[in-house]
């Protein structure tokens, strides 16, 4: 069982996938009339607890007086995404070495805001979709397909066979992003701030792209870098 904490998360799930909600729990002293109305309209079981009872199950997580119990997260099949017609093809974001749930949650939220993306994450040495990730995503998981595969190398080969170009983000020795034209459909591989992209993936990239940073010699975390690259992808597609 996974829980969603807070009004934004619960409302987004009610708007997009109400059938995945098993029960909604409200704190009596909080005004959640709008969410209660949506729960009734969608025939979702819901209960009102006293403040003391509610606090005992809230795990000290900021929740605004509402918690939803939902089904386990359902990952999307890669083949379903690759078979989309050309006019509906999504840009794929493959994440390598992203183990921080905060980063994954932020990336989910960012890609949902931009739209027309799908995420690919490996099963091992990677963050997966958990309560912590969903808390940061703020409902973004309802708008972005997430694919989980055992190994990214076969995934990259499969996307290439489906006609995708594969670009990887690197700290140095890549083509300057500001002068680079992406080829579509696109799979963009993004690595972690400290480890980058796994070495085994490098030889399978069609292009390597670097984000120019002429300022202080610091680094961007993966979520911030993803936002910048996604913005450029959207800009070029338009």
- Condensed to tens digits (0 to 9), the pLDDT of residues 1-49 reads 799 999 999 999 999 999 999 999 999 988 888 999 999 999 999 999 9
Q: Which domains are present in the chain?
A: 2-70 (3.30.1330.30), 78-237 (3.40.1280.10)
Could you tell me the sign of the dihedral formed by the alpha carbons of 136, 138, 143, 148, in that order?
positive
pLDDT band for 218, please (50, 70, 90 cuts). Answer: low
pLDDT band for 89, please (50, 70, 90 cuts). Answer: very high
- Separation between Cα atoms, residue 163 and residue 186, nearest integer Å: 9
- Separation between Cα atoms, residue 93 and residue 83, nearest integer Å: 17
101-158 pLDDT tens trace: 999 999 999 999 999 999 999 998 899 999 999 999 999 999 999 999 999 999 999 9
Q: Torsion angle, CA of 132/133/139/142, rounded to 10 degrees?
A: -130
150-181 pLDDT tens trace: 999 999 999 999 999 999 999 888 899 999 99
Query: What b/e string do you get for 202-229 counting C-beta neighbours within 10 Å, with b at 16 or more?
Result: eebbebbbbbeeeeeeeeeebbbbbbeb
Structure confidence at residue 107 (pLDDT) = 97
Q: How confident is the model over 195-204, as a mean pLDDT?
A: 90
How much of the chain, in percent, has pLDDT values that exceed 70?
Answer: 99
Q: How confident is the model over 220-224, as a mean pLDDT?
A: 90
The residue assigned the tokens 């005992």 is 56
Give first-to-last CA distance, the chain, whole Å.
40
Mean pLDDT of the chain: 93
Beta strands in 145-223 (DSSP E): 146-149, 165-169, 175-176, 186-191, 207-210
Could you tell me the sign of the dihedral formed by the alpha carbons of 78, 81, 84, 90, in that order?
negative
Q: Minimal CA–CA distance to 107: which of 90, 95, 116?
A: 95
Contact 197/99 with Cβ under 8 angstroms?
A: no
Please give the model's pTM, rounded to 2 decimal places.
0.92
How much of the chain, in percent, has pLDDT values that exceed 90?
Answer: 83
Structure confidence at residue 31 (pLDDT) = 87
pLDDT band for 62, please (50, 70, 90 cuts). Answer: confident
**Residue 70 three-state SS:** strand
């Amino acid at each position: 069982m996974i829980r969603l904490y807070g009004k934004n998360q619960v409302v987004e799930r009610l708007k997009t996938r109400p059938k995945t909600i098993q029960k909604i729990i409200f704190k009596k002293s909080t005004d959640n009339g709008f969410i209660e109305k949506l729960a009734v309209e969608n025939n979702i079981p819901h209960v009102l607890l006293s403040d003391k009872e509610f606090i005992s199950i809230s795990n000290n997580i900021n929740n605004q007086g509402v918690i939803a119990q939902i089904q386990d997260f359902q990952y999307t099949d890669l083949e379903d995404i690759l078979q989309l017609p050309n006019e509906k093809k999504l840009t794929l974001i493959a994440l390598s070495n992203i183990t921080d749930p905060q980063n994954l949650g932020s990336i989910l939220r960012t890609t949902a805001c931009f739209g027309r993306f799908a995420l690919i994450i490996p099963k091992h040495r990677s963050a997966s979709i958990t309560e912590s990730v969903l808390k940061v995503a703020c409902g973004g998981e309802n708008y972005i397909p997430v694919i989980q595969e055992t190994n990214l190398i076969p995934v990259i080969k499969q996307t290439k066979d489906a006609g995708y170009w594969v670009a990887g983000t690197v700290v140095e020795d890549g083509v300057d992003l500001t002068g680079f034209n992406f080829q579509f459909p696109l799979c963009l591989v993004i690595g972690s701030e400290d480890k980058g992209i796994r070495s085994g993936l490098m030889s399978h990239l069609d292009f390597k792209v670097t984000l120019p940073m002429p300022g202080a010699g610091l680094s961007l975390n993966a979520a911030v870098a993803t936002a910048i690259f996604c913005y450029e992808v959207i800009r070029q597609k338009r």
